[in-house]
Amino acid sequence: MRISQSNLKNGLGVAALSMAVSLTSGNASAGVTDADIVNDQANTSDIVHYGIGPQGQRFSPLNKLNTDNVQNLQPVWAFSLGGEKQRGQESQPLVRDGVMYVTGSYSRIWAIDVNTGEEIWEYEARLPDGIMPCCDVVNRGAALYDDLVIFGTLDAKLVALDAATGKPVWKKTLGDYKAGYSYTAAPLIAKGMVITGVSGGEFGIVGKVEARDAKTGELVWSRPTVEGHMGYLNGKENGITGGKANVTWPGDMWKHGGAATWLGGTYDPDVDLLFFGTGNPAPWNSWLRPGDNLYSASRVAIDPDTGKIAWHFQTTPHDGWDFDGVNEFISFDYQENGKTVKAGATADRNGFFYVLNRENGDFIRGFPFVNNITWAKGLDDEGRPLYVDDNRPGNPAGEKKGAQVFAIPSFLGGKNWMPMAYSQDTGLFYVPSNEWGMDIWNEPVSYKSGAAYLGAGFTIKPIFDDHIGSLKAVDPKSGKIVWEYKNPAPLWGGVLTTAGNLVFTGTPEGYLMGFDARTGEVVYKFNTGSGIVGSPITWEQNGEQFVSVVSGWGGAVPLWGGEVAKTVKNFNQGGMVWTFKLPARNVATR
């Protein structure tokens, strides 16, 4: 049975729609609880949260599919996202009680019967003219809570839909899209609240993290991420973001300071903290804003009950290369000297991999995970970069253009938004990285609401002849690159790892690829017809293990990639959800 928004217009009732969902999925969907979300990684029959759990490890304990039988993985259905809006499909699907929820470009979302691949319902946001997404019209996923599906839109709205019908339940505004605010991340759910950031750092907006009651959408607290702005709890002023205005920002620059929280965050119930990354300070031209420019290019740990910043760690103080700091912070434990270290790891745009104490933010270690970094010689004992002064773009004061430098990595980063995965079996992180550099220079700029606020120009260039993309297995305890897979085009999709000794990711060339998690050997390859920039998932149903990934080339690389964009200009756009399974007869006992 196929149900769409047109059925609602034609008068098909909610009860009938709910019955139809029950018939197609095999049972009625139960409401998603906080316990379901916290236990998401352990529950192999559903995927109810982005990152396969709020910690974002993207590790599945399933091992029916493994290196012995992965060659038997076969497609069972493909669902088209359709129309003329097939570009930049960066979503991670969710699965609950036989129904898949997947978002698409231009702020669309579908419910799909996982048994048949048939559409149950579709919702398409009515976007106004004048939206200003900097880096393609992407959406990275939804959130499930109670009987709601919650996702964000390019005009900076947060929308909650009835999971059975796709009918809107509530809608809230996250920011003024006319000033440059937008939203592309998957919302985070913690303690009954839906937690969101904002996009728009290239337009001089002010980054923030906000918590709302997930059932009603009512605001609980708001925490700006630019030092000097006021935070609120239950509608009342709750102190500024941890510092006074003009301390790490000159003059009034903090008023339009950027630090957008555009990737979303993770939550660790073990230490009861939210972890969000913050983007570049605005403008890119760093000569206009001397100082560390808190809390830009940082990881911030936030108390979920109050919005208070518990600790922060700044990866690129006084960022002058658009290195951001938004990349996911993933909780993990390891043993050292007979003790358990409660750690967290992040692979930064700036090319360094950081391991921090997730309880207090203390720096444990850091090391480069890409080659030939030019902007810094390394990190000091506190994790602060040792700058190469000559590799900061020059001051354009009184001129049209400052001195140009060639910086590695490029502003698209040693790793960009695409999430890495952590294996509890191997103890390794699997990092989708890119090896590239950029010519970059500064230009004069002044703030104007709704206009680009960069003050810089750039051209991205590859630094190796044979590859740009590099999937790396990284040991967070030693900094060793255990294995590497080199890909001709940039990698722009997320990673999944499993207890079956498998690592999955996609390539712009269109391949869903499987690797031996310990050796890096390619053990599976399937071409989906368009570049993969989504994040794969796996779950089990009726005794069989499934894998799904969204295919559809797009994102920032073809828009901002400079000379690199030439290498991908002939790649086809698309929009398909591909679902594979390992038939029960092919399960090999490990």
CA pair distance 189, 209, nearest whole angstrom: 13
Torsion of CA 42, 48, 57, 194, to 10 degrees: -130
- The answer to whether residues 81 and 124 touch, using CB atoms and an 8 Å cutoff, is no
From residue 355, alpha-carbon distances to 109, 415, 416, 474, 512 in Å are 35, 16, 18, 12, 29
Give per-residue pLDDT as tens, 473-528.
999 999 999 999 999 999 999 999 999 999 999 999 999 999 999 999 999 999 99
Question: From the candidates 155, 319, 322, 324, which is the catalytic residue?
Answer: 322
Domains of the chain: total:
1
**What pLDDT does 561 receive?**
80
pLDDT for the residue 412: 96
Q: Mean of the pLDDT values across residues 297-320?
A: 97
- Angle at CA 557, nearest 5°, toward 553 and 561? 145
8 Å CB contact between 54 and 269:
yes
User: Is the confidence at residue 458, as pLDDT, over 90?
Assistant: yes
Domain CATH code at residue 158:
2.140.10.10
- Residue pLDDT, tens place only, 172-211: 999 999 999 999 999 999 999 999 999 999 999 999 999 9
Q: What is the pTM of this model?
A: 0.94
- 322 carries an active-site annotation: yes
Does residue 576 surpass a pLDDT of 90? yes
Amino acid at 123: Y
Gap between the Cα atoms of 331 and 59, Å rounded: 12
Residue 488 has a pLDDT of 96
Is the pLDDT at 77 greater than 50, yes or no?
Answer: yes
Tell me how far apart the alpha carbons of residues 364 and 315 are, in angstroms, rounded to a whole number: 13
How high is the pLDDT of residue 590? 53
Residue 300 and residue 276 in contact, taking contact as beta carbons nearer than 8 Å: yes
Task: Answer whether residue 20 shows pLDDT above 50.
Answer: no
What average pLDDT is seen over the chain? 92
Interval 224-239: pLDDT, tens: 999 999 999 998 988 7
**Which of residues 24 and 402 earns the better pLDDT score?**
402
> How far apart, in whole angstroms, are the C-alpha atoms of residue 61 and residue 540?
11
Tokens of 92: 């991670």
How far from the centroid of its chain's Cα atoms is residue 330's Cα? 12
Q: Rounded mean pLDDT of 139-164?
A: 98
SS3 of 426, please? Answer: coil
| DSSP assignment letter at 129 | T
Domain that holds residue 259: 5-586
- Pick the range with the lowest mean pLDDT from 91-105, 284-298, 574-588: 574-588
Question: Does the structure show a pLDDT above 70 at 8?
Answer: no
Answer whether 351's CB lies under 8 Å from 370's CB. Answer: yes
Please report where in the chains the tokens 């990639």 appear, as a residue: 561
Predicted local confidence at residue 242, as pLDDT: 72
Task: Name residue 280's amino acid.
Answer: N
